[in-house]
Chain A
Amino acid sequence: MEKALFEYLLRLGDDSLILGHRLSEWCGHGPILEEDIALTNLSLDLIGQATSFLDYAGKVEGKGRSEDDLAFLRFDKDYRNLLLVERPNGDFGVTIMRQFLFDAYRKPLFERLVHSSDETIAAIAAKSLKETKYHLKHSSEWVIRLGDGTEESHERIQEALNDLWKYAAEIFYEDEVDATLKEAGVLPNMETLRADWEEIVYSVLKEATLETPDNNWKQEGGRKGLHTEHLGYILAELQYMQRAYPNMEW
């Protein structure tokens, strides 16, 4: 049970960490100053969530690893984030679509986790839910604007959707980790999570005049530590200081 919980906390923490990292790459390069600030706010929320989940993961593991040890000193195979969140930023359309597909999962997920039998998870989820509701609102509105904006924006965001769709399928990957935690009540009512996600996604895509890709292929691996080539480069930057100057305080 502890092992499953640790594993699951890494999944939650790493999703936030890696997506927060990706969004932070936008800082100073956004399409307009106002949106630059908005993207950074998302990033800050996610880094805060990562800190909470990884801190708790370290405690559950019981080997004395801090949130920083976990964030900065694992090898790529030990990261448990979705492949979706490590996808490169691409243009603003790719970033927004990636964010939307993720937010549409995170909001119903946190809505369930606030009822977790694990009090720490419930507390982190309650705080994160407030943030995520805003993230979803922001990303949904942008998907609609870009989808129903100009011909060019429509094409770009449709292409982003087509590309990211197979990675989004990994959101519903489940294995013995989930089974164990469901039984323990740590993960309550997960059966309808997918339906909730689909409802959000389909209604927004419809309003955005976008077509749902008919590709049913699932691109999985992240949850088990099998990543794309991109994670290595993310970690090369993320871990640079800790690797180059080991055992120092900053």
Chain B
Amino acid sequence: MKELNIDELKRRFQEKIDNDIKIEPKDWMPDDYRQTLIRQISQHAHSEVVGMLPEGNWITRAPNLRRKAVLLAKVQDEAGHGLYLYSAVETLGADREETIDDLHSGKAKYSSIFNYPTLTWADMGAVGWLVDGAAIMNQVPLCRCSYGPYARAMVRVCKEESFHQRQGFEIMMKLASGTPEQKAMAQDALNRFWWPALMMFGPNDADSKHTQQSMDWKIKRHTNDELRQQFVDITVPQAEMIGLEIPDPDLKWNEETGHYDFGEINWDEFWQVVQGNGPCNKDRIDARRKAKEDGMWVREAANAYAEKRKARLAKKAS
């Protein structure tokens, strides 16, 4: 086969994308596409894994056995999702360990929402309902992403996530219909998580540097603002139904657009938290780094044992 020049390769690549043909690991792809995916998928994987920490914070204090088991299973799922995603990253030739080192060094980012603390049990409800709700909204379109392994991982993740949001909403519903103390706890959690949840969709379209290219490559299917609007439209009636109030004085239904108008997000806070100034950035990374360092001797031992065993088996066979 004669060597194709790069423009021809690019043209064929884009043609596949335009025809909704999935790109698979060994297919030719532009370097930028590969790098964008590595960045996005590993960021996504880090978010799952770092996201275990704020909820893990309440596992030992869950109020009854059922809630404890559900929360534990949920946080465990996040670990599973992290793993599915790291395994998608590895199909692109990136090494899991290296991407994790980038997280620990601060080079790689993760969803900023996890830099907020979980202060009460109601936060388990708010995180499940709002944070997982927002995540699902981001993730469902990714099931159709142009890169095969990412799309397949997302199908699995979305299937599993559906219980996450429900369990969160159930917690909120129970609190909202409980004692005044419980209801206040639920409202307080909503107050603290509402705005950070809206920030999860990323900067406004006008300020989002990656959106257009990612849309052309069908890695992304909707813009940040579209998804954010969809989230608000869906979530506001849910809050009303359980008698909680969205902490936004500017929130109101707009007959003309058929959507809710909502107030201005504090982008200053958003960027500060992204850059490391959130209440828990350091705690989260320290915890992940510690887990990795403390586990080093365990991983080494398993390797050493595997080698010894292999050598013994080989000796036996000869």
Residue contact B69 to A27, C-beta cutoff 8 Å: no
Residue contact A149 to B300, C-beta cutoff 8 Å: yes
B258 touches A (CB below 8 Å) = no
B302 touches A (CB below 8 Å) = yes
Q: Mark A228-247, 1 if CB is under 8 A from B, else 0.
A: 00000000011011100100
B9 touches A (CB below 8 Å) = no
One of B21-29, B35-43, B57-65, B144-152 at the interface: B57-65
A146 touches B (CB below 8 Å) = yes
- Which residues from 7 to 65 on chain A have a C-beta closer than 8 Å to any C-beta of chain B? 21, 24-25, 27-37, 40-41, 43-44, 47-48, 50-51, 54
Contacts of A21 in B (CB 8 A): 60
Contacts of B294 in A (CB 8 A): 29, 31, 91-92
Residue contact A250 to B174, C-beta cutoff 8 Å: yes
A68 touches B (CB below 8 Å) = yes
Chain B contact patch, size range? 35 or more
- Which residues from 25 to 75 on chain B have a C-beta closer than 8 Å to any C-beta of chain A? 49, 52-53, 56, 59-69, 72-73, 75
One of B105-113, B132-140, B175-183 at the interface: B175-183
Contacts of B171 in A (CB 8 A): 250
A215 touches B (CB below 8 Å) = no
Residue contact A153 to B300, C-beta cutoff 8 Å: yes
Contacts of B196 in A (CB 8 A): none
A32 CA / B68 CA spacing, docked (Å): 23
Contacts of B61 in A (CB 8 A): 237-238, 240-241
B121 touches A (CB below 8 Å) = yes
Contacts of A54 in B (CB 8 A): 65
**A237-B67 contact in complex given A31-B295, A33-B82, C-beta closer than 8 Å:** no
A138 touches B (CB below 8 Å) = no
Residue contact B305 to A148, C-beta cutoff 8 Å: yes
Residue contact B65 to A28, C-beta cutoff 8 Å: no
A249 touches B (CB below 8 Å) = yes
Contacts of B301 in A (CB 8 A): 145-146, 149-150, 152-153
Residue contact A150 to B64, C-beta cutoff 8 Å: no
Q: Mark A140-180, 1 if CB is under 8 A from B, else 0.
A: 00001110111011001000000000000000000000000
A26 CA / B171 CA spacing, docked (Å): 24
Name, among B73, B75, B79, B300, the residue most crowded by chain A CB atoms within 10 Å (CB to CB).
B79
A92 CA / B293 CA spacing, docked (Å): 12
Closest-CB distance, B49 to chain A (whole angstroms): 7
A248 touches B (CB below 8 Å) = yes
Q: Mark B228-252, 1 if CB is under 8 A from A, else 0.
A: 0000000000000000000000000
A67 touches B (CB below 8 Å) = yes
B265 touches A (CB below 8 Å) = no
Q: Which residue of A lies closest to B60 (CB)?
A: A237
Q: Which residue of B lies closest to A70 (CB)?
A: B65
Contacts of A237 in B (CB 8 A): 60-61
Closest-CB distance, A180 to chain B (whole angstroms): 28
Closest-CB distance, A144 to chain B (whole angstroms): 7
Q: Which residue of B lies closest to A96 (CB)?
A: B298
Residue contact A47 to B69, C-beta cutoff 8 Å: yes
Residue contact B302 to A24, C-beta cutoff 8 Å: no
A150 CA / B303 CA spacing, docked (Å): 9
**A25-B60 contact in complex given A31-B299, A241-B121, C-beta closer than 8 Å:** yes
Residue contact A145 to B302, C-beta cutoff 8 Å: yes
Partner pick for A250 among B64, B287, B302, B308, CB 8 A cutoff: B64
Contacts of A25 in B (CB 8 A): 59-60
Closest-CB distance, A151 to chain B (whole angstroms): 9
Residue contact B83 to A242, C-beta cutoff 8 Å: no
Partner pick for B79 among A36, A44, A238, A240, CB 8 A cutoff: A36
Residue contact A150 to B300, C-beta cutoff 8 Å: yes
B80 touches A (CB below 8 Å) = yes
A71 touches B (CB below 8 Å) = yes
Partner pick for B290 among A29, A150, A240, A248, CB 8 A cutoff: A29
Residue contact B65 to A33, C-beta cutoff 8 Å: no
- Which residues from 75 to 89 on chain B have a C-beta closer than 8 Å to any C-beta of chain A? 75-76, 79-80, 82-83, 86
B304 touches A (CB below 8 Å) = yes
**A30-B291 contact in complex given A37-B80, A44-B72, A150-B301, C-beta closer than 8 Å:** yes
Q: Which residue of B lies closest to A241 (CB)?
A: B63
Closest-CB distance, A39 to chain B (whole angstroms): 9
**Selected A-B contacts with CB under 8 Å, 17 pairs:** A27-B56, A27-B79, A28-B56, A28-B291, A29-B291, A31-B291, A33-B49, A35-B298, A37-B83, A72-B64, A92-B295, A145-B301, A145-B302, A146-B301, A152-B297, A241-B63, A248-B182
Sort A-B residue pairs by CB-CB distance and give the 6 closest, nearest first: A31-B295, A149-B301, A153-B301, A241-B63, A28-B56, A28-B52
